[in-house]
């Protein structure tokens, strides 16, 4: 019998808020999450706007020790995963831990930590590089930290396919359930790349909007006057679950995932 997969939990951290109900309400009101960059000085930058998750408070989800040991992209994932788990009313116990996994994608991983540690090394020498550095920047750490936080001992992986990383992670998580490698997956994407290096690089590619004076209308992908995309940060996490498993535990079902495909057009690195 084909194993059908449904969505039973939602969680998100975005420039429009840190809870899905708040985000949806603001979307319906036409609120924009784009504004002036506050995370670093943009005096010498052509691009001065981005979508920052301004309402995100990592201290609400992590203690001081965890804050020092995790990059912002991992913090986003932990917060969004917590909301999704709560929304799904999913409990992981010794009885089901090996049937619950995590698959969370990211393009850049801990870029902010990489930039910070590299600057410290150049200024103070190699002995000042933290031994925790590798455990802060690797892209698979979102999935890893989420699995540790919730005790999910099932399949654990991460896609790093640029803008498609989150979608690929959800799709591959669905496939794991369909082939009976798991009953539930915590799946989605997370990104925290509002940094000097990322913004300057994409700006120099002429990929970013320079509508600095009107940030609220800078992101307009289907407009003839579009002049680039807007960098933003956040995370989106779904709880995807085998249908009968969800029904047995009385879970609320948002939707069924009917299909997933992945392909490349074998054409160009940035122009699909």
- Give residue-wise pLDDT tens across range 117-176: 999 999 999 999 999 999 999 999 999 999 999 999 999 999 999 999 999 999 999 999
Show me where the domains of the chain are located: 5-257
Q: Is the alpha carbon torsion for 165, 129, 43, 197 positive or negative?
A: negative
Evaluate if residue 271 carries a pLDDT over 80: no
pLDDT at 1 over 90: no
| Residue 260, pLDDT above cutoff 80 | yes
Residue 268 — pLDDT band, cuts 50, 70, 90?
A: confident
Share of the chain above pLDDT 70, in %: 100
Q: Is 214 exposed, middle or buried (0-12, 13-18, 19+ CB in 10 A)?
A: exposed
**H or E element in which residue 87 lies:** helix 72-88
Class of domain 5-257: alpha beta
**Distance from C-alpha of 61 to C-alpha of 160, rounded to nearest angstrom:** 25
Mean pLDDT of the chain: 95
The three-state secondary structure class of 181 is coil
Among candidate residues 105, 257, 109, the one with its CA nearest the CA of residue 188: 105
User: Residue 12 forms beta bridges with which residues?
Assistant: 236
Beta strands in 42-111 (DSSP E): 49-50, 100-105
Q: Report the range of poorest mean pLDDT among 85-89, 121-125, 175-179, 222-226.
A: 222-226
* Distance between CA atoms of residues 39 and 135, nearest Å: 23
**Which pLDDT band, with edges at 50, 70 and 90, does 18 fall under?**
very high
Contact 79, 58 (CB under 8 A): yes
Q: Is residue 128 classed exposed, middle or buried when 0-12, 13-18 and 19+ CB atoms within 10 A define those classes? A: exposed
Full-model pTM: 0.96
What tens digit of pLDDT does each residue of 57-76 get? 999 989 999 999 999 999 99
pLDDT at 270 over 90: no
């Amino acid at each position: 019998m084909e194993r059908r997969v449904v969505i039973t939990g939602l969680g998100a951290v975005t420039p429009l808020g840190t809870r899905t109900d708040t985000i949806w309400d603001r979307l319906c009101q036409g609120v924009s999450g784009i504004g002036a960059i506050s995370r670093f000085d943009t005096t010498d930058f052509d691009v001065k706007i981005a979508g920052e998750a301004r309402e995100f408070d990592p201290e609400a989800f992590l203690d001081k020790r965890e804050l020092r040991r995790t990059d912002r992209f991992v913090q986003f994932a932990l917060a969004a995963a917590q909301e999704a788990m709560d929304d799904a009313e999913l409990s992981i116990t010794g009885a089901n831990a090996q049937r619950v996994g995590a698959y969370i994608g990211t393009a850049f991983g801990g870029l902010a930590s990489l930039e910070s540690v590299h600057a410290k090394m150049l200024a103070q020498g190699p002995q000042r590089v933290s031994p925790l550095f590798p455990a802060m920047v690797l892209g698979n750490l979102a999935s890893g930290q989420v699995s540790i936080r919730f005790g999910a001992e099932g399949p654990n992986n991460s896609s790093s396919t640029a803008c498609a990383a989150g979608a690929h992670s959800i799709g591959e998580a669905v496939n794991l359930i369909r082939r009976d490698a798991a009953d539930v997956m915590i799946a989605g994407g997370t990104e925290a790349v509002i940094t000097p290096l990322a913004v300057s690089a994409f700006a120099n590619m002429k990929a970013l909007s320079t509508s600095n004076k009107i940030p609220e209308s800078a992101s307009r992908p289907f407009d003839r006057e579009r002049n680039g995309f807007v960098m933003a940060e956040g995370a989106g996490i779904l709880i995807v679950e085998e249908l009968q498993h969800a029904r047995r535990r009385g879970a609320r079902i948002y939707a069924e995932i009917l299909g997933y495909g992945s392909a490349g057009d074998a054409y160009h690195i940035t122009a699909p």
